[in-house]
Amino acid sequence: MADIIKLLPDHVANQIAAGEVVQRPASVVKELLENAIDAGATTIKLVIKEGGKTLIQVIDDGVGMSATDARLSFERHATSKIQKAEDLFNLHTKGFRGEALASIAAIAHVEMHTKTEEDEVGTHLKIEGSTIVSQEVTVTPKGTSMMVKNLFFNIPARRNFLKSSQVELRHIIEEFQRVSLAHASISFHFYNNGNELFNLPSSNHRQRIVNLFGGKIKEKLVPVDEETQVVTISGFINKPEYAKKSRGEQFFFVNDRFIRSPYLHHAVVSAFDGLIKKENHPGYFLYLTVDPASIDINIHPTKTEIKFDDEHTLYAILRSTIKHSLGQFNVMPSLDFDKNQNLETPYEYKDKLVQQPKINVDSNFNPFKEEMLRTNYRPNFQKQSTKGWESMYVGMDSEDDEKEADTSITYESDTITGSIFEGKKSNFETASTTFQLRRKYIVTTIKSGMVVIDQSRAHQRVLYERFLKNITIKGGVSQQLLFPLRLAFTKSDCAIIQEIKESLITVGFVFGTIDEEEVEITGVPLSVPESEVGMILDQLISDYQQDFVVDGFSQTDVLSKTLSKSLAVKTGEILDSDSQLALVNDLFACKESGVSPFNKPIYVTITESDIDKKFL
C-alpha cells in the first residue's frame, strides 16, 4: 500500500492556523495591538476602513525591528517572547506562539514599515498570501507600521461569512476597548474611515474608563481594592442601581490580559445578590494580578481563557472583596445600631418639670352643624309659608317628563383598571366565557372543551405581528413628548442605535440629535410608556450584541421581538373581562397563534373527553 500521509505545504498550514487565530477583522486588530504593546510603544494609532475589510493599520513608536527580524517575524513559530518551554509558565507578554503574523500574512496583503532607534534607515516589506513580494530600504520613523489590506482575499468563502461593515466595526471597537482598558498608561488613537473615534491620552484606570464610556459613567463607579497572598484585586464595579439587561460593561483582566471566565463572573453576580434583579447584569472593570506560574494561558488560540491553579480560593476572595466595597461605600444596605436623634431629650429640658397633659374640649362643637346647613335646616323652628304647595307636584303624572328627568341624572362609576386593549366586539356570547387563572392564564371555552392561554406569550405574539406590519408598511404612529428625553449611552451603544434608527422610526420613535454619548428622543410609539424607553433601548442593544444582525428581515425580526417582549402583559397583571376577550380575539386573528415569537407554546386545549377521563 502506498504512503498516504504527507507534510502540508507551508502556505496551506498557515491558512489552517489562520482559521484559529483570525476569525474576523477584530482578531487582526487584537494581534497587532498586542504586538505593539509588547514592543514597548507609548503611543499607538489604529486606522480602520470599511470595518477592517479594506484596511487595518496599526502604527506604534516601539523598539522596531531590524531587516532580519522583519523577515523572520512572518515565519511560523518565530518569536522573541520565549526561548524555552519553562518560559511558558512565566509569561509577561501578550503574544508568545509566533503564529499571528504568519497567519495574517497567509490570508491578506501585508505591508510593514519598521526601524530601530540605532538604524539610520528602516525596512519596507510586502507580503501577499505568505509570499514575499518585495523587501526594500525605506525612510520611516522609529517603531513599526503594519498595514493589512484585503482580508481573506484568497479565501472567498471566509470573506462571504463576514458581516456588514457596521457589525465588524463594532467587534473592532470591543477589542480596542479591551486592550486600551488593560493599558491605561499607553496613549491610543482610533480612526475609522478618516474620522477620529477615540483619542485616549495616557492616564490611570479610572480616567481611561471615563474616556472610553463617557463622563456620566463616573457617578456609577465604586472602587475595589484588595491585596492578598493569592491575588491582588483592583478596579471598579458599577452601583447596583445602574445594572442593565445587557452585558456590555463587564471586563476581567488577569495580569493586564483580557479574559472570559464564567466562574469568576458568577462570583461577582453572587456578591450583588439581593441588590439587583435576576434578569439584570452588574457592570465591572476588575484587574487581577496573580503569580504567572499559577495560571495557564496557552489553552485557547485567542488566549481569552485562563486556567487557575486554585479557582475556589480566587472565587471566595473576589466575592468577599466586592461585598466589602459595596458595604464600605454605603451601597449595600446595613443595620445601623446608632441612637436615633429624634428619640433623645433636648439638653435645655433638663430642669423642666413634668406636667400633666391637659385636654381642651370645645363645648360648642356640633357635629351636625354642616349637615343642617346642607338641608336648609332651621334650628329656630320658624313656621314656613305653605302658599303654592300645589306647584311642587305639577308634571309628576307625565311619563315623558319622567324619562327626561332620568336622562339628566348622571351617576359616578368606579374606574376599572387592567384594561389594556381597545374595546372590540367579542366573538364570544358573554363575558363569562373567559376568566383569569392565577394572574397568568386566560381560560376560555370552545365547542370541544376549553383553552388555557398564557397571557404574556399571547400578547407577545399579538404585538410582534403588529410591529412587523408597522415596520414593513412604515405605518407606525408616534406621540410627541412635551419634554424630549436625553439618554446617555456609550459610543458603541450609540453606534448600534444609529444602525437601527430607520427601523425604530418606522415603529413610531422620533429622534432628535444622536451624539457620541447621548441620544435625544422627541416621540415614542403610542404603546410605549415614556418611563420604559430607556429600558427598551437597553434591551435592544443587548439583543443586537448577542445576535449581531443588522440587515433586512433579521433586523426587523430582532426589533419586533424586543419591543413585543418589553411591552407585553407580564405574569401577575390583572386583566378585566373585556381585555381578556380582546386578547383572545387578537391572538386567534394572528397568522401564527400557536407559538410565541420565541417559539414557545401559547395555549393548550383540554377537550371534553379529557375532562371525562378524570372522572372515570
β 284-289/187-192 pair status: unpaired
Residue 217: predicted pLDDT = 87
Rg (CA), the chain: 36
* Chain center to CA of 272: 17
What percent of the chain has a predicted confidence (pLDDT) above 70? Answer: 78
Q: What is the pLDDT of residues 521-563, one digit of tens each?
A: 999 887 788 888 888 888 888 777 665 444 445 677 888 888 8
3-state secondary structure of 549: coil
Domain-wise residue ranges, the chain = 10-200, 212-328, 431-604
The closest of 315, 295, 24 to 158, measured between CA atoms, is 24
Kindly state the helix (H) or strand (E) to which residue 21 belongs, with its residue range: helix 10-21
Superfamily of domain 10-200: Histidine kinase-like ATPase, C-terminal domain (3.30.565.10)
Name the β-bridge partners of 234. Answer: 225, 287
Residue 616: predicted pLDDT = 81
CB of 39 closer than 8 Å to CB of 62: yes
Residue 361: predicted pLDDT = 81
Q: What is the pLDDT of residues 336-390, one digit of tens each?
A: 555 555 656 666 777 777 778 788 887 788 777 766 555 554 545 455 555 666 6
State the architecture of 212-328 in CATH terms: 2-Layer Sandwich (3.30)
Q: How far apart are CA 235 and CA 223, in angstroms?
A: 6
Residue 98 DSSP code: S
Residue 81: predicted pLDDT = 62
In whole angstroms, how far apart are CA 88 and each of 21, 92, 94, 489? Answer: 19, 10, 12, 40
Instruction: Tell the CATH topology of 431-604.
Output: Ribosomal Protein S8; Chain: A, domain 1 (3.30.1370)
Q: What is the pLDDT of residues 259-287, one digit of tens each?
A: 888 899 999 999 998 888 887 889 999 99
Residue 88: predicted pLDDT = 57
| HSE toward the beta carbon, residue 611, CA cutoff 13 A | 8
* Chain center to CA of 242: 11
pTM of the model: 0.70
CB of 29 closer than 8 Å to CB of 113: no
